Amino acid sequence: MGVRLVSVAVPAPLRRLFDYDAGDLDSARLRPGVRVRVPFGRREQVGVVVEAPREAEAGGFDYRPVTAVLDDEPLLDAELLALCRWVADYYHHPPGEVFAAALPAPLRKGGAVQAGAKQNLLRLTAEGTAALPNLPARSAALRALLEKVGDGALSRSTLLEVMPKSGAAIRRALERGWLEHVAAEPGAASFTAETPPPLSAEQAAVLHELQSLPEGYTATLLEGVTGSGKTEIYLRLTAQALERGRQVLVLAPEIGLTPQLAERFERRFGARVASYHSGLSDAERARTWMRARAGELDVVVGTRSAVFVPLARPGLIVVDEEHDGSYKQQEGLRYSARDLALIRAQRLKVPALLGSATPALESLHNAATGRYRHLRLRQRVFAAAGPRIGVVDMRAQPLQHGLSRPLLEAVERHLAAGGQALLFLNRRGYAPALLCHDCGWVAPCPHCDARMVLHRGRPRLLCHHCGHVTPVPLTCPDCDGSELVPVGQGTERIEDALRLRFPGQRVERFDSDRLGRAGELQRLLDDVRSGAIRILVGTQVLAKGHDFAGLSFAGVLDVDQALYGSDFRAMERMGQQLTQVAGRVGRAGQPGEVLLQTHQPQHPMLRVLIERGYPAFAEALLRERRDFGLPPFAHLALLRAEAPQEGEAMHFLQEARQALPEATGVEALGPAPAGMQRRAGHFRAQLMLRSTSRAALHRALDSWITRLEALPAGRRLRWSIDVDPGDLF
């Protein structure tokens, strides 16, 4: 007996597709890319048809029928479908979970979403312009809103992103006739785009090169120091794509960076710009996804997951701050959005542009070997030379809460001169350890090989690895001693110390504890720009893309922490962070100053970075990577395992190693316990595969994973495969 079968990707942790009986459903309805409801186990699931129905022998097997077809037209076009299948293959991940990751939640759950709903922009009316200078002091929110809109036009959604809580002010301004809606479709007379600034000579040369590239896929690395006008290049290329009727996808590494970027695109190109990130509601994301698919949007600005947004008329893909580690997803489907952007551009036959002040070593290597074109912007637009970078040798310094005297004096000097100061420390909390002065006990996390971090505010001890929280003990649990002292510094402690040292100056902390609430970051950034905040203390949040015009000083409080990171990428990250922090300084005409606190002022890599800059530093690191056979000179895949019982993960990995197919050119390293062996109550270990040939590595993975799935030991614990791992822990 024959049967018509259809292959469906069903969200389940299994690396395979599932066949269903197509029954008498018309093949024209079961086209690849259409969502279907199918029985799965004892439940129903929404899956995606991956291949057209085919005639097959039932072979006595009782295939279950498709319950319902959810789309009249394929929701995923051929390109996105092929991309998802490629991702499942390359990352050796269950295909159903890949499709689920590509779809916004409402669509994933089987819902229907209308693209529709054109956006209008808001613009100042003549009355609004007249009212602005006379607004009373108590109308601060209204004034800020009108000033923000300025002589341009912005959508309500972008305004709400860059000025959270401006909803009421927008309503009032509309009621009073100070703001009006304007349609901002291409060619609409009501929308005047901002006039682009004339390009600098360097920018013009770069743009000219980019515009003379052949049609189709090209990959370009745009290495440009912070403030050199990379974004302006993105805008010009976007303008060109839009003129040709094409769409542009722009990726940014962080939610916090998308609003400003979306704002810049919207001011220039009008309402057919939308952002896509996890800070938006599911409904908004789904609508943007559908609008991009329908070709109703010209520009989508988004974070990692936006790489899966469908494009009806693709024209250009931009990856801003391409070196950023957050492009790599660290759990579940461990994809790199930067790498996928390139794959997608290649398949769509459109140019890809990667921008950064501190390109990833992988990208520099690709440029050096000719896979990418390498363009550079060496000068800042506002012609200030880069900041002076000095080192404070901590060995000889008395410290106040980790702050040396030269550093404090520099802050004082810059504040007195009207500048703003940024202090960078990549450690949240008050102190990274709580120590008993009598017996040396240090508060441990009961579930991890880690110390509990002391937080103030609502005082507590918090594990940064598993989230375990306890009250702060009053006495030592070991010796009953009562002298428990915080050791070391976190951002909270630095914030306190600076408030005491600089009374009357507004100090604000920027880290994920402080910026938890949506919109908090945008609100604080506004206060930095207005000059209300004088001193910024923060983690990597501050090292990324934000534009602080008045910043004249940056201090990096603990360089050593990064010099001795255990990961092979730690040094690269250190160089990128220091360069990015330094790049925030002195943008508006003055060169500014940077001080680095370290106990290793003679560290050779630190010297190279300071004396010869990031390009020379990256070159030195690349030589090291070559000598050690590390990426980009080799390709890695990591098999991670974790189990509640000690030894189980190692045992599984030893069996896994035995099961490794005889493969030439693939080397297995380990297994070895993870850097932090116990986390959240699980013992973790890993086994690494390495090869100079990507193809050989993937061939080995293919047959190996099938064997791993059959290993009984593997069923009793959690394991995962990480292709091109970001971190090895």
Name the residues that contact ligand ADP, by CB under 6 A.
197-200, 203, 224, 226-232, 381, 547
Query: Of 39, 481, 550, 726, which one interacts with Zn ion (CB under 5 A)?
Result: 481
**Nearest distance from residue 431's CB to Zn ion, in Å?**
17
Give, as one character, the DSSP assignment of residue 326: G
**Nearest distance from residue 583's CB to ligand ADP, in Å?**
8
DSSP percent split of the chain into helix, strand, coil, nearest 5: 35, 25, 40
Q: Find the radius of gyration of the CA atoms of the chain.
A: 27
Binder of residue 230, out of ligand ADP, Zn ion, none (CB less than 5 to 8 A by kind): ligand ADP
Query: Which of the stretches 79-87, 103-111, 478-486, 619-627 binds Zn ion when contact is defined by CB under 5 A?
Result: 478-486
For ligand ADP, give the closer residue by CB, 206 or 559: 206
User: DSSP for 251-270?
Assistant: E-S-GGGHHHHHHHHHHHH-
**Nearest distance from residue 462's CB to Zn ion, in Å?**
9
For ligand ADP, give the closer residue by CB, 232 or 298: 232
Binder of residue 466, out of Zn ion, ligand ADP, none (CB less than 5 to 8 A by kind): Zn ion
For Zn ion, give the closer residue by CB, 645 or 692: 645
Name the 3-class secondary structure at 3. strand
**Cβ atoms of 649 and 643 closer than 8 Å:** yes
**Nearest distance from residue 202's CB to ligand ADP, in Å?**
9
Binder of residue 486, out of Zn ion, ligand ADP, none (CB less than 5 to 8 A by kind): none
**Nearest distance from residue 268's CB to ligand ADP, in Å?**
11
Binding of residue 702 to Zn ion (CB under 5 A): no
Q: Which residue has the tokens 């939610």?
A: 255
Binding of residue 441 to Zn ion (CB under 5 A): yes
Distance CA 147, CA 262 (A): 18
Binding of residue 483 to Zn ion (CB under 5 A): no
For Zn ion, give the closer residue by CB, 417 or 439: 439
For Zn ion, give the closer residue by CB, 455 or 546: 455
Binder of residue 19, out of ligand ADP, Zn ion, none (CB less than 5 to 8 A by kind): none
**Nearest distance from residue 381's CB to ligand ADP, in Å?**
4
**Nearest distance from residue 461's CB to Zn ion, in Å?**
10
Name the 3-class secondary structure at 594. strand
Binder of residue 229, out of Zn ion, ligand ADP, none (CB less than 5 to 8 A by kind): ligand ADP
Distance CA 658, CA 157 (A): 55
For ligand ADP, give the closer residue by CB, 288 or 552: 552
Sheet holding 18-21, edge to edge: 18-21, 2-9, 43-57, 35-40, 68-69
For ligand ADP, give the closer residue by CB, 91 or 265: 265
State which amino acid sits at residue 603: H
**Nearest distance from residue 328's CB to Zn ion, in Å?**
23
Q: Which helix (H) or strand (E) holds 691?
A: strand 682-691
Distance CA 364, CA 620 (A): 12
Angle (CA) 217 220 222, round 5°: 155
For ligand ADP, give the closer residue by CB, 228 or 404: 228
Restricting to residues 37-96, name those near Zn ion by CB under 5 A: none
Q: Residues 290, 295, 300, 305: what is their CA dihedral angle, to the nearest 10 degrees?
A: 40
**Nearest distance from residue 470's CB to Zn ion, in Å?**
11
Query: Which of the stretches 118-126, 383-391, 459-467, 493-501 binds Zn ion when contact is defined by CB under 5 A?
Result: 459-467
Hey, what are 371's tokens? 């896979």
**Cβ atoms of 641 and 652 closer than 8 Å:** yes
Q: Which residue has the tokens 């293959």?
A: 89
Binder of residue 228, out of ligand ADP, Zn ion, none (CB less than 5 to 8 A by kind): ligand ADP
**Nearest distance from residue 618's CB to ligand ADP, in Å?**
18
How many Cα atoms within 13 Å fall on the side-chain side of residue 403? 24
* Partners of 553 in the β-ladder: 421, 593
Restricting to residues 410-439, name those near Zn ion by CB under 5 A: 436, 438-439
Q: Which residue has the tokens 């029954």?
A: 23
Binder of residue 231, out of ligand ADP, Zn ion, none (CB less than 5 to 8 A by kind): ligand ADP
**Nearest distance from residue 469's CB to Zn ion, in Å?**
10
User: DSSP for 471-500?
Assistant: PPPSS-TTT----EEEES--HHHHHHHHHH
Binding of residue 473 to Zn ion (CB under 5 A): no
**Alpha carbon distances (Å) from 175 to 118, 150, 168, 396, 499:** 21, 18, 11, 64, 42
**Cβ atoms of 234 and 352 closer than 8 Å:** no
Binding of residue 463 to Zn ion (CB under 5 A): yes
The size of the interface with Zn ion (CB under 5 A), counted in residues, is: 15
Q: 285, 294, 307, 312: which is closest to 111 by C-alpha?
A: 285
**Cβ atoms of 417 and 531 closer than 8 Å:** no
Binder of residue 436, out of ligand ADP, Zn ion, none (CB less than 5 to 8 A by kind): Zn ion
Restricting to residues 194-253, name those near Zn ion by CB under 5 A: none
**Alpha carbon distances (Å) from 438 to 326, 445, 471, 484:** 42, 20, 20, 8
Contacts with Zn ion, residue ranges (CB under 5 A):
436, 438-439, 441, 445, 447-448, 463, 465-466, 468, 476, 478-479, 481
